[in-house]
Structure 1
Amino acid sequence: MKIVLSIQSLKYPLTGIGRYTLELAQQLAISPEVERLDYFNGDKFVPGLPERDDMETAPSAAASGLLAIKRQLARSKLVLESYRALKALRRSNPFAGHEGQLFHGPNFYVPDFPGPRTVTIHDLSVLTMPQFHPPERVMYLGKEIEISLQRTNTIITDCQAIKDEVMQRFGIAEADVFVAPLASSEAFRPREAAETIPTLARYGLQHGGYTLYTGTIEPRKNLVNLIEAYEKLPSALRAQKPLVLSGHRGWQNEAIMDRIERAQSEGWLTYLGFVPEDDLPLLFSGAYLFAFPSLYEGFGLPVLEAMASGVPVVTSNRSSLPEVGGDAAIYIEPEDVPALSRALERALVDDDWRRDAIARGFAQEQRFSWEKCAADTLTAYRATMAR
């Protein structure tokens, strides 16, 4: 096969989609089925994947200011439509010489490529749950998804739940939608306290001494309910195993941050902000419990990362999460705060359940791998070329 892979999502900070793109690119590069692999970075071809140092440099104050201006401009429908038209113009003929290849857009979008095309749709939340996104994102990404689906020969999703959504919403045949589940990195594994202490000490944490959440601080993640559920735990248990939140501040986080600050002042919650990629596996390994009561996920990679780290999981019974967690997690209705609180308490104090959940978690995580993700993707590629 001769593949063109879009790598536009490989930017700092490395998001879940960025991680997926990077791992997939690395697997495709070593596949004997792939005769040629070219990287397309938005409007031009580049000779290779960006170096890690290029992706992990924290944004400067000037760059942060520019990002704020871009976000402000993005609220204008006129600006969005002008940007879309300019992008189409810039991409009008960047593919000369690549007509015989297959184009894969791993981040919702495919351009008007002169050859077979497939796209990864990670979720449809901008269409099905627009209240969880800024209006400008709904306006832009919603239209991009619909345009991409009109252009593609096949579609790839991360899980069966999103495949079902895509088929139902757009009336697409099952044979045209392929599932390629994600996987956790080898960096996520159990560790003894001696290995985690140097990192955890920088955050004021103790090995096995906290419940962890990682992810964006935004409404879709259901953090207000998580904090309220944790507050209902016995005070001695909260003091012994405080709640630790990690992740950058996302959209509409004001109410969440107010609740975080109040809990921090009471001494049973710590907000770490954005944590560098190298520190995350140690943060997972040092946790006693992982809590992820999200209202909607396209996959829910942190659940796998926790299980790979030997950490029990409490998560939602929504969207993709039961597929990812299998029989290893406690599932709750995410808007039922008392039920969430009871689940958290059981996961913290029931030693028999914890031992079983850790063993089941290891077995569940082993069902996923980036090699399998690439193999499933290649199956989609073969079907795309046959179309």
Structure 2
Amino acid sequence: MSVKVILSVEALEPRLSGIGRYSWELAQRIGAAPEVDGVRFYRNGDWISDPSRLLVPDGIPRRHKVHRWLRNRTKAVRRLRDRVIAQGHLFHGPNYFLPEIGEGGVVTVHDLSVFHYPETHPAERLRYFEREFAASMARTAHIITDSATTRAEVINFLSLAPERVTAIPLAASPAFTLREAAQIQPALERYALVPQGYALCVSTVEPRKRIPQLLQAWAGLPSSVRARWPLMVTGGAGWLSDDIQALMDRGAREGWVRYLGFVPEEDLPLLYAGAALFVYPSVYEGFGLPPVEAMASGVPTVVANASCLPEVTGGAAMLVEPEDIDDFARRLEQALVDEEWRTSARDAGLAIAGGYSWDRCARETVALYGRVAGR
């Protein structure tokens, strides 16, 4: 059967987060599926005709101000309009929540970090989850997770029947691929880097990502190893990141770490492809997209032996315990200098990453829409 779909796109913005990337990849693909009879895009009460405009600065729609005495009437009219438009559509909220007009739809729960690690989230986000998450789950006919690990966690946490939750894996963009040194050299020069001359961590800088432990372990490497492969950290500054930034500043003064912050989207695949090693010590993820991007780029990868990361990396990555700083440092040195392991990890990583694709993600998501609509 064919299904009409509404996809919520509130996560789309010029600097895409992991959820933003997921939303964008679905937005580009689901409308082309033969089982889908049209897609509309919704963002916080607005209907979006062209979601690609949300990816450019100043592309986010802004509502006109209304006088206070009109505001309640305007909201009521908008809610009625939205319900009329939504009739006959299946609503997909790819970012944890379903609005009232999405009753009976699908929602993607990427992880439960807001409940397990509330100290790593801003108070405003915690309050929003307290207000809205339970209501969204009550409206939801089916939940998507990014991994089997998270699926089992969601089933247990929400006391759901297993048939109400489906794991559909994410993927790396085709931009993340093997590249010759000559292809990436010009971009790396802008960062004063050379191919195979640095290690990389792409992560929001916040406590559960275990960046402090990574910095402490890197500081424990032999000075010759640190000098040959300084650590590059790129990503946004998250919650409670001031102390982490102070650690990076100290390492930067000693010459073995640099914080690049956000880099342009077109540069990120080139930074991956030029790295000698990728490290991702986060102890809690719903999928862990950066390690898959690294493996797709042919980069040997080290991840924490935690949450879904062993599942997602499929045996291709070296597993470490970030809290054991001394052992973490030993494993990092091995990952940098053991050529036999590096060759094996590179080949295995390419094979594992190649099993994921955004086309597959969209295809399995559309198939789920059909099953939910059929019920």
TM-score (ref. length: structure 1): 0.89
Output aligned runs, 1:197-346, within 5 Å.
197-346=185-334
Cα distance in 1 for partners of 2:74, 2:303 equals 39
Task: Answer whether contact 2:300 2:346 (CA < 8 A) is retained.
Answer: yes
Is the Cα–Cα contact under 8 Å of residues 35 and 370 in structure 2 kept in the other structure? no
Give yes or no for contact 2:13–2:55 (8 Å, CA) kept in 1. Answer: yes
The structure-2 alpha-carbon separation of the partners of 1:379 and 1:142, relative to structure 1 and needing over 3 Å to count, comes to farther
C-alpha deviation, 1:379, in angstroms? 2.9
Out of 42, 45, 48, the residue aligned to residue 43 of structure 1 is 45
2:162 to 161, 168, 174: 174
Question: 1:147 and 1:129 mapped to 2: Cα distance?
Answer: 21
Does residue 1 of structure 2 align to residue 13 of structure 1? Answer: no
Query: Contact (CA 8 Å) 1:101, 1:115: kept in 2 or not?
Result: no
Query: TM-score w.r.t. structure 2 length?
Result: 0.92
1:7-156 superposed matches below 5 A: 7-51=9-53, 55-57=55-57, 92-93=79-80, 94-113=82-101, 116-156=104-144
> Secondary structure of the residue that 2:6 maps to in structure 1?
strand
1:117/1:231 CA distance change after superposition, 3 Å: same
Read off the aligned partner of 1:106 and give its amino acid letter.
P
Distance 1:28 1:286 in 2: 33
Distance 1:89 1:168, change over 3 A: farther
The CA deviation at 1:108 is: 0.6
Change (3 A) 1:56 1:222: farther
Is the contact made by 1:127 and 1:142 (CA closer than 8 Å) also made in structure 2? no
1:189 corresponds, among 146, 161, 177, to: 177
Equivalent AA in structure 1 for residue 171 of structure 2: A
* Residues in 2 aligned to 1:239 and 1:302: alpha-carbon distance in whole angstroms: 25
User: How far 1:142 sits from its partner (Å)?
Assistant: 4.0
SS in 2 for 1:272: strand
For 1:70, the equivalent position in structure 2 comes to: none
Q: CA deviation at 1:95?
A: 2.8
Please give the alpha-carbon distance, in whole angstroms, between the structure 1 residues aligned to 2:263 and 2:22.
19
Question: May I ask how many residue pairs the two structures share in their alignment?
Answer: 360
After superposition, what is the alpha-carbon deviation per residue over 1:219-250, rounded to whole angstroms, capped at 9, x for unaligned?
A: 12110000000111100000000111111211
Deviation string 1:195-231 (CA, Å, 9 cap, x unpaired) is 1111111111111100100121111211000000011
Partner amino acid, structure 2, of 1:155: I
356, 362, 372: which one aligns with 1:374: 362
Distance (whole Å) between structure 1 residues aligned to residue 276 and residue 327 of structure 2: 20
Secondary structure, aligned partner of 2:52? coil
Structure-2 change in CA distance of 1:58 and 1:240 (3 Å)? farther
Distance 1:18 1:314 in 2: 25
Judged with a 3 Å threshold, the aligned counterparts in structure 2 of structure 1 residues 346 and 196 are, in CA distance, closer, same or farther, namely same
CA positional deviation for 1:21: 0.5
Deviations 1:114-151 (A, max 9, x none): 65311000111111221221222222124322221111
Question: Which segment is superposed worse, 133-142 or 282-291?
Answer: 133-142
The root-mean-square deviation of aligned C-alpha atoms, in Å, is 1.9
Please, which runs of 5 or more residues in structure 2 have no aligned partner?
60-71
1:94-115 alpha-carbon deviations (Å, 9 max, x no partner):
2313311100000011011265
Aligned to 1:163: 151
1:92 alignment partner AA: R
Secondary structure class of the residue paired with 1:185:
coil
Could you tell me which runs of 5 or more consecutive residues in structure 1 were left unpaired when the two chains were aligned.
60-84
CA–CA separation in structure 2 for the residues paired with 1:157 and 1:89: 33
Q: Is the 8 A contact 1:308 1:362 kept in 2?
A: yes
For residues 145 and 384 of structure 1, the distance between their equivalents in structure 2, rounded to whole angstroms, comes to 21
Q: Assess if the C-alpha contact under 8 Å between 1:99 and 1:115 holds in 2.
A: no
**Letter in structure 1 aligned against 2:303:** T
Separation in 1, partners of 2:77, 2:312 = 39
CA distance in 1, matches of 2:334, 2:8: 44
Tell me: CA distance 1:12–1:335, structure 2 relative to 1, closer, same or farther (3 Å). same
Contact kept, 8 Å, 1:179 with 1:376, in 2: the verdict is: no
The percentage of counterpart residues that share the same residue type is: 44
Q: In structure 1, what residue type is equivalent to 2:329?
A: S
SS at structure 2 position matched to 1:104? strand
